[in-house]
Structure 1
């Protein structure tokens, strides 16, 4: 019973409860920790050999072409998934803005947990980033913020709505 209640809990309520328990915002805390650990993770990933090591090397080569914190975070998480011998295509879904919402909803209907990005063709920076849990989408609008320092954990995403 508790498991179903937690699964159906709105994202805002999860964030509010996390804040109440820890006095820290969930998303900002996660992103800050990811940013703090990225260099250490890169060192660990560099030791990967074989096909896994090559996949990680290819992802990180793309990441090094961009000076964008969201792209670096995305590629770090993808590399982490590969490092643990999982398929990143099961966790990360990418769509072009030309895809319809119905197409996106159908392709993630059976997704237990995933992260999606929507991009314009030929542009690496996403227009929308979100989380899919139990087939339900929680979108975020990606934005830059002029009053926050580059690389700040709160710099790039805000809840849509």
Structure 2
């Protein structure tokens, strides 16, 4: 990747709906070479996909919880069962493997606190192999971006 590819990525991260003509103008290329570069970035897997970023509150999910999970045991079956449960649960937006005292960090969205209680009772508490769960509720955001530097 060269400087021009990085310019293309910066512009597409800011507005993934740019037409090729507008993108080419912003990065000072003619449309044909610009499109060729975008297609190369897609083929190389640098551009993974195009998505819409939805406002959580406007979509009815104003509550965000960060949930640290520690497993009681780390046998393959326990880990696979937990990770399968995570993948099938739409309220879990992300699940990160961690070093340190917790094994996983979940980002969970809910319409309200009562929904979170039901999520805990029906989803996490019924998942075998969990030793501890620690929840922090997000009450503000200083920075939130999907743009890579």
Do the structures match in fold with TM over 0.5?
Answer: no
State the structure with bigger RCO (CA 8 A, min sep 6), 1 or 2: 2
| TM-score, normalised relative to structure 2 | 0.26
More helix by share: 1
| TM-score, normalised relative to structure 1 | 0.25
Question: Which protein is bigger by CA-based radius of gyration?
Answer: 2
